[in-house]
Structure 1
């Protein structure tokens, strides 16, 4: 093999650490971004939170005049290479033209007053003049199921052993209020290899279980769905409900649960030896029970959605004009620490290069956060412009929309639009929706146009809601009705949309 030298010219794209951080911040949700900001505040001494009384101009690269020439050149090169920078001719949320952009169905862009990191608007006050409690405060003050049961157990006069057994069972419940393990299994886990102690524990747990199943809410401490329903029916009978209906419902709960799930009235009537009208009355009573007694004690804080973008009508005069702005409550208010940055410029000793790098990291972090919210605002504005009929007429007016349309309009890549629309939410007069909700595939129509899959799902829900309960619409019939309205939708597509809407099949809806 002969050795030699050759010269080759090639081009390749290399992502700098700054670009990698920008992409990573873009795909984070609001809660994940808050955690990232907290971590960066703890790691980087040059980064600090803007105090409440600080001017708003201090957010972002307000200290750009202190950048060294090489940092300025690196910043300019990154801005030129960044794929998420606004395209030429695109409307910037911070430009004067954006605030006065009008036209047919125009949208008014209203970024936060001042620069990034401006103070959030005052909290809305209730009629008493006190600050209204937000959802997080209410969620944090919500009583959990174990606390609710422990509070009731304090009113019971029990021996120390029975009180300890009841407390152990309460702590063994799952989030739905069910006791997954039997008293025998719990006793075997506490006293392995000791039959006498296990027998004593089983007795204590059996007594405590009876006490637990008489506490509020009804059905707590059940070990199966059938037992949970039976406990609630017994409680209703004690409260004065119709004894005949309760007896029928108890008989139904004694049968296999799959028959109840299928609404098999005929089979249940044979097994329970009752008339079909009585079975239907018992099933109606069961449908009003709670299959998960611990549902209302669930921790709702983890289900709170904080919108990133707020959409509101711009005025009553023009219903097609909307105001799009970022949620000021989610904007991090950051700046570079003045004292530390000044000390670093004045003293050039050992470790100066490492500290200069940390200072540059703080500046890039602030800039990438600003770019993240700029991109979210631009994408949200484009979505509202494309789907303005949705904000006026609802789901039935939703247009087909794919990521490529927004990407081509803003001069961004589809992957960037995908990152922006994932785990980002928009608060609208019709509710709070994920940005991905406004994207949907297209279904053909007889006129040669397209209908959004979201609009078709809304139309299916509307047709099912207006159907005759005695003669529910089948998937084939719904497909025919859609074709009569000019929408080409196959039966299997209707079935897929119906399942996505959690609508039962026609046979189950008829039984209901």
Structure 2
């Protein structure tokens, strides 16, 4: 009979300390998320303070503004070459900055007679769809009852500009006595549908497009478009020009022209209004060519300007005792935070420089010159683990004269060639893109034909791989690219 026993074993295994786990987590954060973490630490830790002083900009793209490098990377040579223009622009910028700062952060006020106008008050405000429609109703000669019905319909619209609820649901919401009948509701709906933007208050996609047919000037084309929208909308979505041509009894070229005009209509008129939530990407590394050599520098706008408060640290060291254990923990945490900031951006820069060293031809000639590159290649060069390189390249961006790219974009697996060499998948996608751009619109290339042409160039790529790459390039299929004449 077996009896329980106690046995001791010695084993060696690696364990990440909580501090190291935190460092790994911070390393894979984006610059914005990391800056927020540091800002929270500064708010909790008395030994951390904001480092004052001007921000140096090694990129030459701006004066420390995070958005300026992105706006200038596409055309770095577009800066003014005349000293007089540069001086004028610099004076204008400094004037705006000085006036803004004098306003105390609440907007610069300029006296003009008896009124003060704030710069913030001169900024155009976002107008929602409902506000835009109500503004038009307010200037229309309507009775109080009709105005209330129209306003109720406007309030029932969704963000796309559609009326998703039925008119029978609108009637009780208006709160009118006597209750409006169906004819009144229909009149109010037509009034709202006559407002700008054209197509608003539609109850379906077909109705939205039909409301915009007035923008098609030619009467014949307008009637063909009406028939397509009301009876063959699914064929239109499938770009079945030949099928529509047979059904309508019209030449394919004429049908395709009408379909193209329909596609220029707006199926979501409400999207033109309201605040546009634009997600900006701030590059971590800025690349430029200096004396014929490509160099990478950190973007100073993304580096948190934090430092250790030496005065508090020295005072604590002089009066340190066992009663101040919490302050000792804060001091240790502050030193670790400063060291982590330095280590994080030093690692990002070293990885970016290693990538730049291997992919400098991409900056010169574009995607066709992209070389195969793996995480292991960079890890061996900079002396890091592959997982660390993967975290460094996650949500980190590099600004180049050709655009802003995620660091992961420069990694591409090797594809064998007929000559025994290797080509990157990014380069093959570039070749496919060039082929499609140069194709005959009346006889576009199918995926199989693209695969055959790649094989003639020594690139053995399967047809399904071509399809995947084409979809990654957001290029429609061959039938949707075909033009009829």
Whether the 8 Å contact between 2:235 and 2:243 is mirrored in structure 1 is yes
Instruction: Look up the match of 2:111.
Output: none
Instruction: Look up the match of 1:177.
Output: 161
Deviation at 1:472, TM superposition (A): 1.0
Deviation at 1:314, TM superposition (A): 1.3
Whether the 8 Å contact between 2:372 and 2:424 is mirrored in structure 1 is yes
Instruction: Look up the match of 2:104.
Output: none
Instruction: Look up the match of 2:334.
Output: 362
Instruction: Look up the match of 2:197.
Output: 217
Instruction: Look up the match of 1:130.
Output: 92
Deviates most, 251-260 or 443-452 = 251-260
Kindly tell me: are residues 184 and 476 of structure 1, through their superposed partners in 2, closer, same or farther at Cα, counting changes over 3 Å?
Answer: same
1:226 to 206, 215, 218: 206
Deviations along 1:321-369, one digit per CA (max 9) or x if unpaired, are 2121111111110122345434433444675001110121122112112
Distance 1:128 1:187 in 2: 60
Instruction: Look up the match of 1:50.
Output: 51
Kindly tell me: are residues 22 and 338 of structure 1, through their superposed partners in 2, closer, same or farther at Cα, counting changes over 3 Å?
Answer: same
Deviates most, 360-369 or 276-285 = 276-285
Deviations along 1:146-178, one digit per CA (max 9) or x if unpaired, are 444444444334455655555555455444433
Whether the 8 Å contact between 1:178 and 1:222 is mirrored in structure 2 is yes
Instruction: Look up the match of 1:31.
Output: 32
Q: What TM-score do you get using the length of structure 2 for normalisation?
A: 0.79
Instruction: Look up the match of 2:346.
Output: 374
Query: Mapping of 1:260-409 within 5 angstroms?
Result: 260-272=236-248, 274=250, 276-297=252-273, 299-315=275-291, 318=292, 321-348=293-320, 351-409=323-381
DSSP 3-state at the match of 1:390: helix
DSSP 3-state at the match of 2:482: helix
Instruction: Look up the match of 2:77.
Output: none
Deviation at 1:245, TM superposition (A): 1.6
Deviations along 1:419-458, one digit per CA (max 9) or x if unpaired, are 1111111111111111111111221111111111111111
Say whether residues 1:440 and 2:416 are aligned partners: no
Q: What TM-score do you get using the length of structure 1 for normalisation?
A: 0.75
Distance 2:326 2:206 in 1: 66
DSSP 3-state at the match of 2:92: coil
Kindly tell me: are residues 243 and 400 of structure 1, through their superposed partners in 2, closer, same or farther at Cα, counting changes over 3 Å?
Answer: same
Deviation at 1:122, TM superposition (A): 11
1:258 to 210, 217, 234: 234
Kindly tell me: are residues 4 and 496 of structure 1, through their superposed partners in 2, closer, same or farther at Cα, counting changes over 3 Å?
Answer: closer
DSSP 3-state at the match of 1:422: coil
DSSP 3-state at the match of 2:465: helix
Distance 2:20 2:233 in 1: 56
Root-mean-square deviation (Å): 3.6
Instruction: Look up the match of 1:103.
Output: none
Distance 1:301 1:48 in 2: 32
In the alignment of these two chains, the number of paired residues is 439
Distance 1:169 1:332 in 2: 50
1:249 to 225, 228, 233: 225
Whether the 8 Å contact between 2:396 and 2:406 is mirrored in structure 1 is yes
DSSP 3-state at the match of 1:215: coil
Deviations along 1:262-282, one digit per CA (max 9) or x if unpaired, are 222343345446554442231
Deviates most, 470-479 or 209-218 = 209-218
Whether the 8 Å contact between 1:161 and 1:204 is mirrored in structure 2 is no
Whether the 8 Å contact between 2:370 and 2:424 is mirrored in structure 1 is yes
Distance 1:211 1:158 in 2: 10
Query: Mapping of 1:95-244 within 5 angstroms?
Result: 120=64, 127=89, 129-131=91-93, 142-159=126-143, 162-163=146-147, 166-167=150-151, 169-170=153-154, 172-185=156-169, 200=180, 206-234=186-214, 236-237=215-216, 241-244=217-220
Whether the 8 Å contact between 2:153 and 2:170 is mirrored in structure 1 is no
Kindly tell me: are residues 111 and 127 of structure 1, through their superposed partners in 2, closer, same or farther at Cα, counting changes over 3 Å?
Answer: closer
DSSP 3-state at the match of 1:463: helix
Kindly tell me: are residues 335 and 299 of structure 1, through their superposed partners in 2, closer, same or farther at Cα, counting changes over 3 Å?
Answer: same
Deviation at 1:291, TM superposition (A): 3.1
Deviation at 1:492, TM superposition (A): 0.8
Distance 2:480 2:123 in 1: 36
Whether the 8 Å contact between 2:416 and 2:459 is mirrored in structure 1 is yes
Deviation at 1:48, TM superposition (A): 2.2
Say whether residues 1:13 and 2:19 are aligned partners: no
Deviation at 1:208, TM superposition (A): 4.7
Distance 1:345 1:217 in 2: 68
Deviations along 1:70-94, one digit per CA (max 9) or x if unpaired, are xxxxxxxxxxxxxxxxxxxxxxxxx
Deviations along 1:179-237, one digit per CA (max 9) or x if unpaired, are 4434445567x59xx9x989649777655543333333322333333222222222x15
Whether the 8 Å contact between 1:252 and 1:282 is mirrored in structure 2 is no
DSSP 3-state at the match of 1:302: coil
Kindly tell me: are residues 306 and 354 of structure 1, through their superposed partners in 2, closer, same or farther at Cα, counting changes over 3 Å?
Answer: same
